[in-house]
Amino acid sequence: MSLDNGTDSYLIDKRIPHRNLKPSGEMIMRMLGLAMIFFIFIQLTLGQSLGADLTGTWESKYQFGPIEEVMTANIQQSGENILGSFSVQPSSGDEYSGIIFGTVNGDMVKANYLSVSKEGTDSKLTLTFIDSLLVDQNTLRGTYYVQDSDMNSLSGPFQAIRK
């Protein structure tokens, strides 16, 4: 290999037979076919996870000591955002309700439930956060975290079923 003739011959190793490194038409078609299969697979995978729509009525039950609460949530989804309302009927005590707002990212759902209730002459604010997964089109499972304006907090697992 000589560098003094001013050509690019120094790039060619004389011990390796010279090959035409241009891909053949058949090779290009194979590469395009594999690329197309890859992109179709990615679109189908993303389409399944992003195709989730939580719009509808959902019901869940919670046990707080001797009191069971049944929550009914009405949700509308627009893109990644969810908005709705909920009502809770405890086994004892007054029914209460509030609003829901959150996001959906694939099969992950994060939402906040906000309610204001009266206790005598005082108002009590309760905020609940859920971190959940859409198990199938009709089942959400995850963890709820509740905190009220008296700084009482509670958390636990939950499951909600579409009605």
Looking at the fold, whether 22 and 96 belong to one and the same domain comes out as: no
Region 142-157: mean pLDDT is 89
Q: Which domain holds residue 14?
A: 8-50
What pLDDT shows up at residue 50? 47
Region 74-99: mean pLDDT is 92
Looking at the fold, whether 91 and 134 belong to one and the same domain comes out as: yes
Query: What are the φ and ψ backbone dihedral angles of 74, each rounded to 5 degrees?
Result: -110, 115
What pLDDT shows up at residue 59? 96
Looking at the fold, whether 82 and 152 belong to one and the same domain comes out as: yes
What pLDDT shows up at residue 99? 95
Looking at the fold, whether 34 and 98 belong to one and the same domain comes out as: no
Looking at the fold, whether 90 and 155 belong to one and the same domain comes out as: yes
Residue 41 has pLDDT above 70, yes or no: no
Looking at the fold, whether 63 and 46 belong to one and the same domain comes out as: no
CATH code, domain carrying 143 = 2.40.128.20
Looking at the fold, whether 97 and 142 belong to one and the same domain comes out as: yes
Residue 2 lies in a domain: no
Confidence of residue 36 (pLDDT cuts 50, 70, 90): low
Highest-scoring range by mean pLDDT, 26-30, 124-128, 130-134 = 130-134
Residue 140 has pLDDT above 90, yes or no: yes
Looking at the fold, whether 15 and 61 belong to one and the same domain comes out as: no
Region 3-11: mean pLDDT is 52
Looking at the fold, whether 63 and 35 belong to one and the same domain comes out as: no
Average pLDDT, the chain: 79
- The reply to whether the predicted model has a pTM over 0.75 is no
Looking at the fold, whether 131 and 96 belong to one and the same domain comes out as: yes
Looking at the fold, whether 85 and 113 belong to one and the same domain comes out as: yes
Q: How many domains does the chain have?
A: 2
Residue 3 lies in a domain: no
Report the percentage of the chain scoring pLDDT > 70: 69
Confidence of residue 80 (pLDDT cuts 50, 70, 90): very high
Residue 113 lies in a domain: yes
Residue 36 lies in a domain: yes
